[in-house]
């Protein structure tokens, strides 16, 4: 029996997606080693566990977890030897049955020193805790600020000092913070565990002080060893700085689990959930449905059938504004409102052909109204991005595309229900904004390996930049042959393609993670579960949205 072109394309897409997922797994395997095997062995020789080993022992076994920012720092700071994982591990998981977020310094990466991206990742962890009222656990093992880059981490609003400001805010709001000093904790970093609600320190390996013995000697001439200066006995029996003295990493983590088990339950936001149901279409089908070539159209409804419970959708205004799909559905039992870019080429009610992935006036209007409805009904929103931007040209401009686009951005930005964003494919220009990009506070934002995040596609940007460069060279009297023009285009596109890669975005925390598409349901479900801890602090004012 002959294989159809559709089947061949599906098989090609599946092979390419599996290759992308395997490449992701290989990158993560390297990142999980932190500073490398030799440094891990050196850490073990001192009786300490690695950051990931600590987290594995702390979290409840056989429960879901979502790691945030594993790829942060990827390809950055090469002149400083790199900073895999930003030198800190951040995981949303469960401890003694309580959902929480864990932040663990990786002492195998520059002794856990803080690079600029380390600060950004720590602040993201605190942001998640504050937005969702999640308990946060700090496993501290850090040499402090990485001094060669101190000007990029020390004084500004979103730098190191913001950590302690957040400690104070969370404490005042009743968000539980537990800190364990499991290694070095020096200088300004010493405030983090002490500004938490409770602190633990491991005997003989944990130390906490504003200045170590060498600096004390240089500053005031006093000779003292680090253990006497700020070890476990000193800080629990003499100064009273820490609350619990424990004898090993293992005892420390067991004690934290005990403390977490005693936390009382708080009121939930009340997002609707029923028994979970698997999609009728298998998740693995996503591999073949998603085109490897980003410009190709595809059936977005088929994607949704592999993501939502029972593959069941209740579409809102199905025949109107067809380049955005809006639908009520359930994900792992949770009621959600889905806003997804439709990548099919469709015909409008006026008989006009509309390009898939482009936002037109009618689709912007529909999505804005749907977002308002979800806010009125307290239904969390899930945005599935594969967007090339808003429609341009005289017809769109005269039709008020800016007005309708502003209405969509307004409705989305003012949403009070939790928002979650999955960048499946393209995320270009203002389309990124309208579909709840990072600037619009999604509770979680993740990307598939097929994602591209930029002002425009690599080819379009390269052509634009090429025109500028060629014009400049011609102005200098240089003759540009077709061969020279092709060489310039290839060079420009190569540089731009690196910047639109999902790894470039994830390394800078524009997205929280790159995920295997089959993990999408788990990420959304974990996200709504954590968002359910925090009631909205304000009502959604429909009257404030332009009509």
Residues 75, 80, 81, 85: is their CA dihedral positive or negative? negative
Give the pairing of strands 324-331 and 314-315: antiparallel
Q: What is the pLDDT, as a whole number, of residue 545? A: 53
**pLDDT < 70 stretches in the chain:** 1-2, 188, 398, 458, 541-547
pLDDT tens per residue, range 401-457: 888 899 999 999 999 999 999 999 999 999 999 999 999 999 999 999 999 998 877
Q: What is the pLDDT, as a whole number, of residue 2? A: 62
Q: What is the pLDDT, as a whole number, of residue 266? A: 85
Residues 125, 130, 135, 136: is their CA dihedral positive or negative? positive
Give φ, ψ of 5 to 5 degrees.
Answer: -60, -35
Q: What is the pLDDT, as a whole number, of residue 460? A: 74
Q: What is the pLDDT, as a whole number, of residue 533? A: 96
Q: Which two tokens stand for residue 229?
A: 């200066």
Q: What is the pLDDT, as a whole number, of residue 456? A: 77
> What residues have CB less than 8 Å from 544, skipping those under 6 apart?
410, 414
Give the bridge partners for 330, in sequence order: 335
Rounded distance, CA 283 to CA 8, Å? 19
Q: What is the pLDDT, as a whole number, of residue 334? A: 98
- Asked whether 453 and 427 are in contact (CB, 8 A), the reply is yes
- Asked whether 153 and 116 are in contact (CB, 8 A), the reply is yes
Q: Which two tokens stand for residue 153?
A: 């981490």
Give φ, ψ of 322 to 5 degrees.
Answer: -70, -10
pLDDT tens per residue, range 112-151: 999 999 999 999 999 999 999 999 999 999 988 888 998 8
Rounded distance, CA 464 to CA 200, Å? 57
Rounded distance, CA 63 to CA 61, Å? 6
Rounded distance, CA 216 to CA 218, Å? 5
Q: Where are the beta strands (DSSP E) in 211-273?
A: 244-246
- Asked whether 199 and 180 are in contact (CB, 8 A), the reply is yes
């Amino acid at each position: 029996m002959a294989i159809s072109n559709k089947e061949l394309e599906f098989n090609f897409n599946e092979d390419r997606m599996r290759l992308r997922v395997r490449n992701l797994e290989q990158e993560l395997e390297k990142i999980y080693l932190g500073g490398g095997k030799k440094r891990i062995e050196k850490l073990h020789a001192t009786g300490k566990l690695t950051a990931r080993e600590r987290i594995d022992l702390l979290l409840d076994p056989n429960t879901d977890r979502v790691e945030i920012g594993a790829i942060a720092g990827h390809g950055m700071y090469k002149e400083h030897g790199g900073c895999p994982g930003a030198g800190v591990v951040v995981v949303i998981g469960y401890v003694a049955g309580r959902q929480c977020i864990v932040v663990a310094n990786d002492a195998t990466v520059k002794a856990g020193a803080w690079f600029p991206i380390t600060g950004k990742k720590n602040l993201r962890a605190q942001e998640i805790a504050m937005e969702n009222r999640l308990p946060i656990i700090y496993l501290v093992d850090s040499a402090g600020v990485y001094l060669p880059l101190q000007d990029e981490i020390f004084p500004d609003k979103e730098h190191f000092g913001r950590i302690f400001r957040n400690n104070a805010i969370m404490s005042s709001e009743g968000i539980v913070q537990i800190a364990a000093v499991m290694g070095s904790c020096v200088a300004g970093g010493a405030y983090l565990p002490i500004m938490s609600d409770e602190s633990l320190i491991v005997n003989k390996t944990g130390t906490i002080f504003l200045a170590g013995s060498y600096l004390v000697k240089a500053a005031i001439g006093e000779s003292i060893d680090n253990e006497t200066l700020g070890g476990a006995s000193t800080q629990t029996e003499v100064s009273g700085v820490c609350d619990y003295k424990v004898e090993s990493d293992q005892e420390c983590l067991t004690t934290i689990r005990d403390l977490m088990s005693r936390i009382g339950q708080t009121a939930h936001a009340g997002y609707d959930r029923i028994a979970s149901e698997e999609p009728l279409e298998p998740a693995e089908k996503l591999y073949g449905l998603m085109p490897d070539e980003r410009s190709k159209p595809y059936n977005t409804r088929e994607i949704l059938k592999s993501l939502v419970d029972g593959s069941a959708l209740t579409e809102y205004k199905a025949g109107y504004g067809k380049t955005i799909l809006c639908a009520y559905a359930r994900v792992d039992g949770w009621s959600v409102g889905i806003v997804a870019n439709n990548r099919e080429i469709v015909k409008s009610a006026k008989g006009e052909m509309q390009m898939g992935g482009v936002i037109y006036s009618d689709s912007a209007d529909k999505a804005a109204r749907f977002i308002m409805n979800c806010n009125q009904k307290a239904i969390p929103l899930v945005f599935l991005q594969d967007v090339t931007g808003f429609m341009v040209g005289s017809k769109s401009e005269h039709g008020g595309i800016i007005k309708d686009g502003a209405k969509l951005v307004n409705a989305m930005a003012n949403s009070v229900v939790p928002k979650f964003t999955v960048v499946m494919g393209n995320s270009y220009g203002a389309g990124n904004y309208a579909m709840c990009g990072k600037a619009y506070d999604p509770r979680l934002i993740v990307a598939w390996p097929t994602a591209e995040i930029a002002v425009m596609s690599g080819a379009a940007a390269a052509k634009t930049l090429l025109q500028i460069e060629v014009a400049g060279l011609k102005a200098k009297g240089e003759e540009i042959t077709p061969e020279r023009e092709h060489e310039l285009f290839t060079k420009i596109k190569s540089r731009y393609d690196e910047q639109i890669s999902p790894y470039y975005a994830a390394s800078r925390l524009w997205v929280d993670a790159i995920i295997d598409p089959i993990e999408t349901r788990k990420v959304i479900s974990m996200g709504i579960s954590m968002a359910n801890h925090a009631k909205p602090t304000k009502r959604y004012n429909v009257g404030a949205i332009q009509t």
